[in-house]
Structure 1
Amino acid sequence: MFTVQQIDEAHSKVKSGAEFPAYIQEIKTFGVKSFETFVSDGHTDYHGDQDYRTSSDPLYAPLVIAQHTNAEQFSKDLKNHQQGGTDFFTFCADCAKSGIEKWIVDLDKMTCIYYDQSGQEILTEQIPS
């Protein structure tokens, strides 16, 4: 089974959104099926076959997630982040301000879905392969 250390090593190669698809392909080879990243503290739960699960540690002090979702602002912040305009923490802080609670990446479907606190899908993206 895979480890958070393996995933972190693969993620260290990602400098902007342009490298994200290669990262996804690499962690797929480890056996990662999906992962869920929580905006509140930046930790991620990774899922593999046979209900295998491992989690990363929190990356920063807890952020407060806005009660009201601002999908338009979130879309702008996401585009800026994907173009290399912000680092991970700034992106997460922007997500919190826009009411985004988490995102789930499904490596079989090659999708990334962003959710608000009520579990509503705010945006679904297809990950380039």
Structure 2
Amino acid sequence: MKFTIKDIQAEHKKVKSGADFPQYIQAVKNLGVYQYTVGVSDGSTEYFDVDHNSEQTESKYDVLTISNELNLDQFKARLKLHQQGGTDYMTFCNDCAENGIKGWKMDLNIMTCTYLDQDGNEVLVEQIPG
């Protein structure tokens, strides 16, 4: 495996808002990350290389309760605000939880971010700016 969690964390520290996200994605892709999944409830993240080897982080914050009710329109509005730099990462995670988003998976090969509901269903797929 080419990357370590420490390498990824060093890149993540450079992110101040959603506006910094495209640079972060390019940096972790350059480290050899092929895809990763994030769990909103505690922020734990699993990173995969092209051979499907993985490294996983510990919980990043106190457990958030994910709403059983998906409010996709409200989530999209909060996501847009975050992407424009209007919220920090923790606020975005709270917004996800409040609107029924359990997590997301990033595919750095096809450059997509897929948001998942409480049941693991794909509810929104976005192209990652590159």
TM-score class, shorter-chain normalisation, is over 0.9
Q: TM-score, normalised by structure 2?
A: 0.94
Deviation at 1:105, TM superposition (A): 0.5
Determine what percentage of the aligned residue pairs are the same residue. 49
Give 1:7's aligned residue.
Answer: 8
Partner of 2:94: 93
AA at the equivalent of 1:73:
Q
Matches within 5 A, 1:19-98: 19-98=20-99
What is the CA RMSD across the aligned residues, in angstroms? 1.1
Query: Counterpart of 2:116?
Result: 115
Tell me how many residue pairs correspond in the alignment. Answer: 129
TM-score of the two chains, using structure 1 as the length reference:
0.94
Instruction: Return structure 1 stretches of 4+ with deviation > 3 angstroms.
Output: none
Alpha-carbon shift at residue 24 of structure 1 (Å):
1.1
Q: Which runs of 5+ in 2 are unaligned?
A: none
Deviation at 1:63, TM superposition (A): 0.8
* CA offsets 1:78-123 (integer angstroms, 9 cap, x no match): 1111112211111111110100000000000100010001121111
- Give secondary structure in 2 for the equivalent of 1:49: coil
Counterpart amino acid of residue 48 in structure 2: H
- Where in structure 1 are there 5+ consecutive unaligned residues? none
